[in-house]
Amino acid sequence: MTPTHESEKPRIGVFVCYCGSNIAATVDVEKVAEYAATLPNVVFTQTNKYTCSDPGQEEIRKAIIEHKLNRVVIAACSPRMHEVTWRRLLQGTGLNPYLLQVANIREHVSWVHQDRGEATQKAKELVAAAVERVPLHEPLEPRQVKIAPSTLIVGGGIAGIQAALDIANAGYHVYLVEKQPSIGGNMAKLDKTFPTLDCAMCILAPKMVDAGRHENITLFSYSEVESVEGHVGQFRVRIKRKPRYVKEDVCTGCGLCTQACVLKDRILSEFEMGMGKRGAAYIPFPQAVPLKAVIDPEHCLLLTRGKCSMKCIKACGPGAIDFKQQEEFIEIEVGTIILATGFELYDMSALPQYGYGRYDNVVDGLQFERLCNASGPTEGRIVTKDGRVPEAIAFLHCIGSRDENTNPYCSQLCCMHTLKLAHLAREKTPARIYEFYIDLRAGGKGYEEFYKRVQHEGIHFIRGKGSEVVQDGDKLIVRAEDTLLGKVVEVPVDMVVLALGMVPPKDIENIARIFNINRSRDGFFMEAHPKLRPAETNVEGVFLAGACQGPKDIPATVAHASAAAAQALSLMSRGQATIEPIIAEVIAEKCSACGECIVACPFKAIRMDEEARHAYVVSAMCKGCGTCAAACPSKAIKMAHFTDQQLIAEIEGILGRMSEYELA
């Protein structure tokens, strides 16, 4: 595309948006437009009810043509909202899309200020800044990149499995990386699922098997992503395969080694949430995919002490056990990435008042789930640690959720999860059952109906948060206020189940760093837009599936995973993507080859040309963050669209008007 009139004297059009009453209620939009008309190089101003709407855009298009505008300033919402929309609009008129500047007078003005006079003044200043800056804009040309037809999926819980199957079934290749020895995630630990009471494993296992066998899915279990380089369409991923000490291609999953292991039933099982035990040679659970044994290097006597009778080796017919295995690294290239790294349970032992980790019969929601499960450590019998059938069980909601001392957010699914556990307990025991809750949140298809069903089953609901649990002989005393009666109650029970609070996995910070994506205040990964782009991230080509973005139950997780898969598929089927031309460039003559920029770059996108003695930017890897330009002591790096001159002009725009304001 050839730029038309942008090299001539600047002819700026300023368009000020009402955004209905979003802006206009606080900012005098007409005054801002009148003021803009007085600024240098401004030849046209207009106000619009909704600048982003079709008629709004049409007016701008007409104005650009009629008034031969070669620069456009739009004063409206955050550029994160509609900058791309308006760039497309400019392009349609033949103007280079980067000759636009957006002044944010909504998020930065009307939504955060109350005084109309001051807000209007600030809006004027922001418009002045944009008007000063925009003449210095240079036309930039976006780059096209090819999208490799493959996806990396990190995490093999229900989210990762669902996304993998969606993509693989569409004919694209998937690399599914799971850090545990088996896929299945937290859903595999559940007994039944609310509100329909489907057996969790019965609906999950077929999907696990499909994912394990699919011709378009390469499964790397017991593996982790080490590093990622590149950009949308061409991510180079390095995967670490931890040694299983069992040859995957030889092991038949018969389990004889797990029976032979001298540490059999001596190590707390992660899958059983510490309620059951395993050996150092183990298969996590009967439906594991891949159904292969693994040897735990933290406990195995041979691997920790160098001495063991090695009964596992003798027991293994095919000779699959191999203590010489080492870490392996595999490099793959993919076009898109989906993160499905899930959640962990909040560590309730941080709240001593509930006795978790101190009293035997205080358990968390997933531990209770294992007690209910027929393949669990008690074969589905709900009993206390010392084998008693409980006479009373208390379920405490909101432990580790909705609490400024732990996690301020609601974990969303624990109300329903806890209701389901109460139902299972009612089915399996004659116990009196209490639910201590603050608010029962049963928003979802069939959820309120399930709540009513559980009420009908004779479960006692006490509206008050469990305040503390004290052991008294065989009994655990739950103290709380029945807030609807205004009376403090002390309820003796035999088991206490603490509702699960969901938190990001401990290694989420590392994952965020590897993929360079943002996290929200709750610690989970941040989506590109909370309503309209829930499965995308700040990095193009990297998508989110399931609870890694925030607490979700199974239906929401599956929907989110399919959304992420659809986003990835849409990119891959298009085959190519446009990437922003807003990147750094080293001006070779000014560069002293000091290397500061190479250290500063978070994307490893700058290299040193040792012969020519200057740094250079690998443009495909540059994300345009500008860190290098700020770090360069020789001012030898030019950040396109954020040049020093452009930024200074913007500041002068604000400061110049400020002084006028103070004089007035």
Residue 467 binding other proteins, by CB under 8 A? yes
- Whose tokens are 């606080």? That residue is 26
Report the nearest approach of other proteins to the CB of residue 357 (Å): 11
Residue 322 binding other proteins, by CB under 8 A? no
Report the nearest approach of other proteins to the CB of residue 441 (Å): 12
Site string for other proteins, 131-150 (x = CB under 8 A): --------------------
Residue from the set 155, 212, 233, 466 that interacts with other proteins by CB under 8 A: 466
Q: Mind giving me the DSSP string for 310-348? A: -HHHHH-TT--B-TT---EEEEEEESEEEE----EE--G
Report the nearest approach of other proteins to the CB of residue 498 (Å): 14
Q: Which one of the spans 167-175, 377-385, 479-487, 560-568 is the region binding other proteins (CB under 8 A)?
A: 479-487
Best CA proximity match to 103, nearest among 131, 62, 84, 139: 131
Q: Are 18 and 31 in contact (CB under 8 A)?
A: no
**Rounded-to-integer distance, Cα 313 and Cα 300, Å:** 13
> Angle CA(137)–CA(143)–CA(148) in degrees, nearest 5?
155
Q: Which one of the spans 58-66, 449-457, 480-488, 599-607 is the region binding other proteins (CB under 8 A)?
A: 480-488
Residue 464 binding other proteins, by CB under 8 A? yes
Scored b (16 or more CB within 10 A) or e, 98-124 reads bbbbbbbbbeebbbebeeeeebbbbbb
Q: Which one of the spans 63-71, 80-88, 395-403, 554-562 is the region binding other proteins (CB under 8 A)?
A: 395-403
Task: With H, G, I as helix, E, B as strand and everything else as coil, classify residue 489.
Answer: strand
Residue 414 binding other proteins, by CB under 8 A? no
Taking the least distance from each CB to other proteins, the nearer of 347 and 468 is 468
Residue from the set 260, 398, 442, 569 that interacts with other proteins by CB under 8 A: 398
Q: Which one of the spans 75-83, 194-202, 376-384, 474-482 is the region binding other proteins (CB under 8 A)?
A: 474-482
Distance of CA 136 to the CA centre of its chain: 37
3-state secondary structure 418-461: HHHHHHHHHHHCCCEEEEEECCCCCCCCCHHHHHHHHHHCCCEE
Report the nearest approach of other proteins to the CB of residue 401 (Å): 9
Residue 358 binding other proteins, by CB under 8 A? yes
List, in sequence order, the alpha helices (H) in 335-413. 365-372
Q: Which of residues 594-653 bind other proteins (CB under 8 A)?
A: none
Burial (CB count <10 Å: 0-12, 13-18, 19+), residue 144: exposed
Taking the least distance from each CB to other proteins, the nearer of 350 and 655 is 350
Q: Which one of the spans 417-425, 459-467, 516-524, 606-614 is the region binding other proteins (CB under 8 A)?
A: 459-467
Q: Which of residues 173-192 bind other proteins (CB under 8 A)?
A: none
The amino acid that residue 24 corresponds to is A
Instruction: Report the relative pairing of strands 637-639 and 584-586 from DSSP bridges.
Output: antiparallel
Taking the least distance from each CB to other proteins, the nearer of 333 and 482 is 482
Rg of the chain over all Cα atoms, to the nearest angstrom: 30
Residue 310 binding other proteins, by CB under 8 A? no
Q: Which of residues 222-241 bind other proteins (CB under 8 A)?
A: none
Residue 360 binding other proteins, by CB under 8 A? no
Site string for other proteins, 519-538 (x = CB under 8 A): --------------------
Tokens describing residue 184: 């299945």
Residue 351 binding other proteins, by CB under 8 A? yes
Residue 410 binding other proteins, by CB under 8 A? no
Report the nearest approach of other proteins to the CB of residue 488 (Å): 5
Report the nearest approach of other proteins to the CB of residue 114 (Å): 14
Taking the least distance from each CB to other proteins, the nearer of 152 and 442 is 442
Site string for other proteins, 486-515 (x = CB under 8 A): xxx---------------------------
Distance of CA 313 to the CA centre of its chain: 42
Helix, strand, coil fractions of the chain, as percent rounded to 5: 30, 25, 45
**Rounded-to-integer distance, Cα 406 and Cα 243, Å:** 36
**Rounded-to-integer distance, Cα 320 and Cα 257, Å:** 10
Report the nearest approach of other proteins to the CB of residue 198 (Å): 32
Distance of CA 587 to the CA centre of its chain: 37
Taking the least distance from each CB to other proteins, the nearer of 27 and 398 is 398
Taking the least distance from each CB to other proteins, the nearer of 313 and 489 is 489
**Rounded-to-integer distance, Cα 586 and Cα 478, Å:** 66
Q: Mind giving me the DSSP string for 177-237? A: E-SSSSS-TTGGG-SEETTTTEEHHHHHHHHHHHHHH-TTEEEE-SEEEEEEEEETTEEEE
Residue from the set 170, 332, 438, 598 that interacts with other proteins by CB under 8 A: 438
Judged by CB under 8 A, the number of residues near other proteins is 26
Chain positions contacting other proteins, by CB under 8 A: 351-353, 358, 398, 402-405, 438-439, 463-468, 470, 479-483, 486-488
